[in-house]
Amino acid sequence: MIARRKPRIRNRWVKRSIRVLRTLFGPYYARRFAIRFWDGTVIPAQADERFILNVQAPYALRAAFTPPFDLNPGRAFVEGALDIEGDLEAAVDLLTRSADRLGGFAKVSLGFWLHRLPRPPKSTDENTAQLEGVLHSRARDEAAIRFHYDQPVEFYRAFLDSRLVYSCAYFEGETRSLEEAQLAKLDYVLRKVNLAPNDSLLDIGCGWGSLIIRAAEYGARVLGITLSRVQYEETQRRIAAAGVGDRAHVELRDYRDLGDARFDKVVSIGMVEHVGRERLADYFRSAFRALRPGGLFLNHGIAEQSRQRRGYRATGFLGRYVFPDGDLLPISELLAAAERIGFEVRDVENLREHYTRTLRAWAANLERNAAAAISASGLRTYRVWRLYIAGSAQGFASGRTGIFQSLLARPRADGVTELPETRRWLYA
């Protein structure tokens, strides 16, 4: 076996950058990843290479790893000071584990070497959320929703399935493709609420209309609501194209403004994350009032599972670049809020592994269709979403976050809910 010769390094900024990386990664340093510096210096991986960390400038590590830590690594990636070739999810996982293991002395040492690197230029913070007004007021919620969802439809087509389902797929049995898994998820949701022909269904936060169109194909009468104008316009187009305009409708409407309308079934997929802890009572109360006695409400949303914290409000990189005002709460808190309003909890299922698989499929699609995504929304947006999707996949794979479908009932006055006696109907 031929021993690898250590590269001879002359550039002082490269030497200091290596000290930073050795301190940060500790025993993981260059084990399964290579490092390439701006001057062409390469530190090879010691074992099977998962990715290459590209340090693009002498100031790059100082830009990435000085406080605030929930913002600067992501911002450095978006602005191109750092780049990853290869498995970005593996890179996020390694950075997360390395940061978790840093003790007090290592943090002091890391800060010392970081401040011996050049000062980075001031960030431009282009295309970041600049929200105003009271947190989770109607106007601010609308601005937050539009920041996240009002990308050109062509951008979402670059990584979603043909139905534009932007939520966790369901890989049932022999299901292999994302396309099949997303259709299986739509059908699974509609089975859970026991949807029957001529039932009325409300979809809170209806996305680009995939569920309301599928429900209309079942013969149901469906209303979808959204605050995203792009989603509203695309859903209108897709309803017309599907020929279900007599049964499916979409409106630009806040969930707090449902009025006196009553529905047999209500679903909400990927909406509760936008509500906020302060508005949970309003959210569940609106769903409860919209549901006739005996009806069912399926609430599908991401929940915080970390033992170290009891909820996560999107700040830093996520709050500024991706998911402004997002609030991930523990499932226990969500269910307790629903019960206080009067809902009866009938079924709770964590689809965490399904979302890991979904996100990995999205990540592969986005990288494969990078040119189309960049053409639609620009390079910075592409880099934001590449990191966001990879980081989300790591969060679900590691168990820090879960994705729960909670089936809630509004019992009739006599206690009856319109559910079969067993769960066999879910898997028919």
* One domain for residues 100 and 169: no
Whether pLDDT at 2 is above 50? no
Q: 6: pLDDT confidence band, cut at 50, 70 and 90? A: low
The side-by-side arrangement of strands in the sheet containing 51-55 is 42-43, 33-37, 51-55, 82-86
Q: What is the pLDDT averaged over residues 283-308?
A: 93
What pLDDT, in 10s, does the model give residues 341-356? 999 999 999 999 999 9
* pLDDT mean across residues, the chain: 93
Print the domain residue range for 86.
12-114
Q: Single out the residue of 247, 229, 268 nearest to residue 150, CA to CA.
A: 229
C-alpha span between 273 and 329 (Å, rounded)? 8
Please give the pLDDT value at position 5.
54
289 within domain boundaries: yes
Q: What is the pLDDT averaged over residues 210-239?
A: 97
Domains contained in the chain, number? 2
% of the chain exceeding 70 in pLDDT: 96
Q: What is the pLDDT averaged over residues 201-206?
A: 98
Please give the pLDDT value at position 7.
59
Q: 312: pLDDT confidence band, cut at 50, 70 and 90? A: low
* One domain for residues 166 and 294: yes
C-alpha span between 406 and 389 (Å, rounded)? 24
What pLDDT, in 10s, does the model give residues 81-100? 999 999 999 999 999 999 88
* One domain for residues 144 and 274: yes
127 within domain boundaries: no
What pLDDT, in 10s, does the model give residues 371-427? 999 999 999 999 999 999 999 999 999 999 999 999 999 999 999 888 888 888 777
H-helix or E-strand containing 204?
Answer: strand 200-204
* One domain for residues 325 and 421: yes
* One domain for residues 74 and 168: no
Q: In sequence order, what are the beta bridge partners of 82?
A: 55
Please give the pLDDT value at position 1.
39
Q: In sequence order, what are the beta bridge partners of 297?
A: 266, 408
212 within domain boundaries: yes
* One domain for residues 108 and 169: no
CATH of the domain at 57: 3.30.1050
pTM of this prediction?
0.94
Q: What is the pLDDT averaged over residues 49-76?
A: 96
CATH of the domain at 160: 3.40.50.150
Please give the pLDDT value at position 418.
83
Report the SS3 class of residue 132: coil
Among the ranges given (38-52, 155-169, 413-427), the one the predictor scored with the smallest mean pLDDT: 413-427
Please give the pLDDT value at position 423.
83
